Structure 1
Amino acid sequence: MWSHRAWQGRLLAHPLAPQERLRHYAGWCDAVEGNTTFYATPARDTVASWARQTDPDFRFVLKIPKVITHERRLTDADEPLRAFLDAIEPLGPRAHALWIQLPGSFSPADVPTLSRFLSQLPRSHRYAVEVRHPAFFAEPRATRLLSEALDAVAAEWIPFDTTAFFASPPTSDAERDAWIKKPRVPLRALALTDRPIVRYLGRDDPTRTIEGWQRWLDIVVGWLREGRSPTMFVHTPDNADAPVLARRFHDEVRSRVPELEALPEPIPVEPLTLF
């Protein structure tokens, strides 16, 4: 995500060598979704370069490869899981959570499989699960079954809030594409652990994105006051202004929780000059 084309030359310097792109992104935000790991396990040397470009307190929420979650559906996956865990080892404390995103067909009937998988994972990492089957949100028994499975291993439930996005029809090509691809699930705003993770999808119009996250301001401020350490990811369909919006959200939270640490100062896009 730190190589997003729309940011190059506008938010991030351009051109940049691949081994510098994450360092510049980390000047905007102190966390990133590791979505590329869903498609393939990275080389260990590549991950080591990520560590070199970020401070120890930078947060990676890394998606577990789809071969484990979607193709093998959490069964007979020891070998790819071992390869993935070995590859990400250089991140050390930067691996904030390993993100288990499950397909929409993964239903309450599959919770025992998830429980077995979670129970066999090394306790050296924290885990967070994202489900998309509507029953987990609509049926109290299914909600309880999943919550109990996650509680047993201190894993978090990641909500993907698309309610603001789906509140009205799409108005751009990026929104029309997201309209087809993104899940429509009810809002969930409960934390199971001291490290809740939220994924929020707004609109391409920044004003509407900001309007849609107002409820999350109250929730995140509440979590901080409870002593939790939340991670909030802000998306829009085109993601063109996502880093700017993420900083705006952080600033709005910080205005209500002044002790919250400020985000880093972005690296200038253009070289500094004397005049």
Structure 2
Amino acid sequence: MNGTGAPALHVGCAMWSLKAWQGRFLPHPATAEERLRAYAGWCNAVEGNTTFYATPARATVATWAQQTDPDFRFVAKLPKLITHERRLIGADAELRAFLDAVEPLGPRNHAVWLQLPSSFGPSDVPVLAAFLRGLPAGHRYAVEVRHRAFFDEQRSARLLEDVLTAANAEWVPFDTRVLFRSPPTSDAERETWTRKPRMPYRSRALTDQPIIRYLGRDDTAATVEGWQPWVETVTGWLREGRSPTVFIHTPDNADVPELCRRFHDEVRARVPELRPLPEPEPVEPLTLF
């Protein structure tokens, strides 16, 4: 929910800074703080992918909070040491360090995101259940799984849903169908084909704050066409009183801040009472002189 208590839609990218955005969405030159502040004028959420590689310093996270409004949302990914190397076992100290580091975000900390490896399957669900039971209640949690059994086998899907529902945790879908619908047509798409999983479509929300990850193409028309089912789903969620968060990706990510706003506009055309996104500050274009 936003500050008014009404359902809200948060949209964002996988990062808040990209070289291709300089002089277009972000000022150039700019400090790290100025880039985040400028990004927060385009989008009101961001994926915390950097925390997957290392827990940030608490002081660094405090600067993230200072550069964003209380309505801005971070979805911070648990470090891979916890999810991939320890596989949720024997990482209590690392977990405490991570939760302490992100504490300065306050209300901006939308959810702690557990992205589990593709080898983490139905037989591992009891481990996930025990891990979720041991988590402090002061945070929301969201889980992304990539083992095909959770999508192809109804029994496995129900098993996972029951565990997540008991913990009031969300199941995060990663919709990559559009990318793999036809062969890649650019270097960025070819590289993304080798790195991203081929994930089935899933649109069932378990909580009042569902999270979607959507991967399109470098072609804007294909990306927009591919997200139309999500526009309808998100519209329905908002009318049910849920507050979704949608992250838009493309292989090169060159246009995603603009695409996020377009997605928000498409939903707002169907839900006029939805609060508009902030207006971005004008950015001076890059020059040769």
Report TM bin, short chain.
Answer: over 0.9
1:208 and 2:207 aligned: no
The counterpart of 1:132, out of the listed 146, 154, 159, is 146
After superposition, give the CA deviation of every residue in 1:214-254 in whole Å (9 maximum; x if it has no partner).
11111000000000000011110000000100000000000
Aligned ranges 1:139-150 → 2 under 5 Å = 139-150=153-164
Q: Distance in 1 between matches of 2:199 and 2:189?
A: 17
The structure showing larger relative contact order (alpha-carbon pairs under 8 Å, at least 6 residues apart) is 2
Aligned match for 1:170, one of 184, 187, 190: 184
1:102 aligns with 2:123: no
Tell me the distance in 1 between the aligned counterparts of 2:34 and 2:61: 13
Tell me the residue number matched to 2:61.
47
Q: Which amino acid aligns with 1:33?
A: E
CA distance in 1, matches of 2:136, 2:19: 36
5+ residue gaps, structure 2, are 1-14
Q: Shift of residue 270 of structure 1?
A: 2.0
Whether 1:243 aligns to 2:257 is: yes
CA distance in structure 2 between the aligned counterparts of 1:38 and 1:21, rounded to whole angstroms? 21
Kindly state the Cα deviation for residue 8 of structure 1 after the two structures are TM-superposed: 1.0
> What SS does structure 2 have at the residue aligned with 1:26?
helix
Please give the root-mean-square deviation of Cα atoms over the aligned residues, in Å: 0.8
* Contact 2:24–2:284 (Cα < 8 Å) also in 1: no
Are residues 1:88 and 2:96 paired? no
- Aligned partner of 1:180 in structure 2 is 194
Give percent identity, aligned residues only.
71
Unaligned runs of 5+ in 1: none
- Equivalent position of 1:79 in the other structure: 93
Please, which of 48, 52, 57 is the counterpart of residue 34 of structure 1? 48
Distance 2:112 2:187 in 1: 32
Query: Where do 1:222-233 residues align within 5 Å?
Result: 222-233=236-247
Length-normalised TM-score, structure 2:
0.93
Distance 1:39 1:9 in 2: 28
* Paired amino acid for 2:186: S
Q: What is the aligned residue count?
A: 271
After TM superposition, the score normalised by the length of structure 1 is 0.97
2-side partners of 1:263 and 1:152: how far apart?
Answer: 33
The residue matched to 1:56 in structure 2 has which SS? coil
Amino acid at match of 1:249: F
Q: Distance in 2 between matches of 1:85 and 1:21?
A: 25
Runs (4+) of structure 1 exceeding 4 A deviation are none
The 5 A counterparts of 1:63-74 are: 63-74=77-88
- For 1:212 and 1:3, the matched residues in 2 are separated by 25
State the shift of 1:57 in Å: 1.1
